[in-house]
Amino acid sequence: MTGVLPETARDVEPLPGLDALAAALGALRSDDEIKRFLRDLCTLPELEALTHRWQTVQLLDEGVPYLEIAERVPTSTATVTRVAQWLKHGTGGYRVALDRQQPKRKRA
């Protein structure tokens, strides 16, 4: 993946069915409903891959080195690099989710 940046939002928007999938996720009201939906939607390997990517995002945001992430998650360093590219140059979805999960910081 030398020098290749992720697709941009406009590259993903025409994906048929993406709006309906986003609406379905948005209609869910609890973590339990979301987990049940994801389990029905995805195979176990797909769900594991998604979980590993999210764990990778969180560790990257904490500044954990790539090799350590690859060992802890476990995943390949190539996946860590790809996820890092999306975190830095993607559509901002990772950042929104990260920011909304972190406790509100008190401003002085």
Q: Give the pLDDT confidence of 28-71 residue by residue, as tens digits.
A: 999 999 999 999 999 999 999 999 999 999 999 999 999 999 99
Q: How confident is the model at residue 108 (pLDDT cuts 50, 70, 90)?
A: very low
Question: CATH says 14-101 is which class?
Answer: mainly alpha
Model-wide pTM > 0.85: no
DSSP 14-57: TSTTHHHHHHHHHH--SHHHHHHHHHHHS-HHHHHHHHHHHHHH
Amino acid 77: pLDDT: 97
Q: How confident is the model at residue 16 (pLDDT cuts 50, 70, 90)?
A: very high
**What are the structural domain ranges in the chain?**
14-101
